[in-house]
Structure 1
């Protein structure tokens, strides 16, 4: 069994995704964006990136991990 990927060096490496910006984001792009890759290294995971660097890296989380994080906030 191989370990799930934890990040991708460039979020542009994730194909067939639709990035969604937080509703709390302002016009200054000071928030995060999320996407659910359907194929490739992040399939089935939740990708998170900095809205100020849309071609920068993305972190990958299982849905359970992300839900736990949000619940803890």
Structure 2
């Protein structure tokens, strides 16, 4: 997460400077993936520690290998 915050600061500084500096989009995307993966791992750990009767079946799916998959409640337009 500190890596993501540092990269966001660099991107914001570059975008707000005159003349505008280039932002390394790939690094920013990589940092975003790190945050996403971290949040997903935390959410999965929390769900794994809940009792079966506490889980909302619309949010949790078990695949063929009995790994926990979580559906996002975010709705976005294509």
TM range (shorter): under 0.3
The structure whose Rg is larger is 2
Structure with greater contact order relative to length (CA < 8 Å, sep ≥ 6): 1
**More strand by percentage:** 1
Q: Structure 1-normalised TM-score?
A: 0.24
TM-score (norm 2): 0.23
Relative to its length, the structure with more helix (as a share) is 2
